[in-house]
Structure 1
Amino acid sequence: MANERLRDALLRKGLTNEHVAKSMGVDPKTVERWITKGRTPYPRHRRTIAAMLRESESYLWPDSVSDERRAEVAESELIQMYPHRNSIPVDVWDRLIRDSADTVEILVHAALFLVERPTFIKDLRRKAENGARIRLLFGDPHSDEIELRSAEEQLGAGTLGGRIRDALAFYRPVKDVDGIEMRLHRTTLYNSIFRFDDEMIVNTHIYGFQGAYAPALHLRQLSAGGLFEIYSESFESVWAQSTPANVWE
């Protein structure tokens, strides 16, 4: 079976089989077999390719890492656990937003705290203009799911939907910027996800509490790990069933 994840990752990075082969001192036909026949490279080659593509080994070759090894690495992927999102130091957010260059992925309901940062929208525009891929997922303010969450968080009818509309208003200046995609989702949001390159903040959600007061995990992606990848795949699942955010039309 072909390895479509490897094929797609190479295409996104603009890398040819010949380039990869030359980097690792193997024949281009070997690289072709890794892609078209799903052959699994030696561990040293997997590590090299994963680093080159900024993907994890467990994503590119799900069966190559044992469950025991994944569990060990997952412990190292957790940098810090915070009792609630509001306790994450400001300088952590500053660094993540400032230093990310390739990937920004955000899955939230509204996340008004982000646009309260004076330069956040300008930072997104600058990153997109420099080649970063930015994908933003917000809750659909008109959905039943948002109304239910508003009630569960004891916010009152229509409150969360109003917050989402308020947040989206800040993004109007970048709605047509190449490299920035914004969509709306109607999923049950178990976690808010804030990915900046190979680091991620995962804000868990607890019934009856607003996200700011729920625990948060600070993760860093490791090649053989699976914890970071689980949340990344969750983002992809929501993205696949979301719709374009045309709220400004």
Structure 2
Amino acid sequence: MTLWPKSVRSHVKTGHDREIVAAYPFRSAAPTSLWASLIDGASQTLTFAGYTNYFLWQQHPRLGARLAAKAKHGTRVRFLVGDPESEVTTKREEVEGVPLTVSTRIRITLDALAKMGRHEGVEARFSDQHIALSVFMFDDQMLVTPHIASLLGDESPMFHIRRLEDDGLYDRFASHVTALWEDGRPVEA
């Protein structure tokens, strides 16, 4: 007796891919409302491990105030950004060849974080090891963007992942971010 006929298995996720909630051909194809609901819905941990995180400040009004309020109520807020002075950043600027440089976009994030002031629960570190992979964590959900060659981040695909099992996709990407965070250098405010 077959419990799950082939026709059902082909339409219902039963393996590791069931942690994938949605896939977008471009990061910019994900609705801003998705980002807003994940940011506003997180209560334990928010981690923004994008190389510049620049777009967040552009797309989400009063993001600094929203994150500061979350931190005040016990949410851990972390930013992992590239070092604007590093060789990795300089090489990426050459690849992209756009007027709004990678180092400028990083500095916009650093400026926004500085304007937030020192809030307990808000941390930032430098790392150059995530230039090709951005991971944004919101409690038990995340958005992951593997960057494609010379394309900008918003032109690369993105996956919405929800944690459902031990050592699944969510846990694997979360371990990656944890390792980068531990190796990162604190950003001095």
Same fold (TM over 0.5): yes
TM-score by length of 2: 0.87
Tell me: higher relative CO, structure 1 or 2? Use CA pairs within 8 A at least 6 residues apart. 2
Cα distance, 1:115 vs. partner? 1.0
1:141 aligned residue (76, 81, 84):
84
Q: Which has the higher strand share?
A: 2
Residue segments in structure 2 that go unaligned for 5+ positions in a row:
1-12
SS at match of 2:161: strand
Q: 1:207 pairs with 149, 153, 156, which one?
A: 149
* Aligned-partner Cα distance in 1 for 2:77–2:40: 14
1:216 maps to amino acid: M
Aligned to 1:142, the other structure's residue is in SS state coil
Runs ≥4 in structure 1, deviation > 3 angstroms? none
Whether the 8 Å CA contact 1:73–1:224 is kept in 2: the answer is: no
Alignment-derived partner of residue 169 in structure 1: 111
TM-score by length of 1: 0.67
1:230 aligns to what?
Answer: 172
Larger Rg: 1
Q: Match of 1:15? A: none
1:125 to 68, 78, 88: 68
Distance 1:122 1:73, change over 3 A: farther
**Displacement of 1:148 after TM fit?**
1.0
CA distance in 2, matches of 1:218, 1:87: 12
Q: Is the 8 A contact 2:51 2:130 kept in 1?
A: no
Consecutive unaligned residues of structure 1, counting only runs of 5 or more, are 1-70
Q: Which amino acid aligns with 1:122?
A: A
Report deviation, 1:87: 0.2
Partner Cα separation in structure 2 for residue 72 and residue 151 of structure 1: 43
Aligned length: 176
2:98 corresponds to: 155
After superposing the two structures, state which structure 1 stretch, 112-121 or 132-141, moved more.
112-121
- Contact 2:124 2:186 (C-alpha < 8 Å) held by counterparts: yes
Distance (whole Å) between structure 2 residues aligned to residue 137 and residue 111 of structure 1: 9
Alpha-carbon distance, 1:237 to partner: 1.2
Letter in 1 for 2:131: L
Instruction: Determine if contact 1:108/1:193 at 8 Å carries over to the other structure.
Output: yes
2:50–2:130 Cα contact (<8 Å) kept: no
The amino acid of 1:150's aligned partner reads E
Please tell me the root mean square deviation across aligned C-alpha atoms, in Å. Answer: 1.8
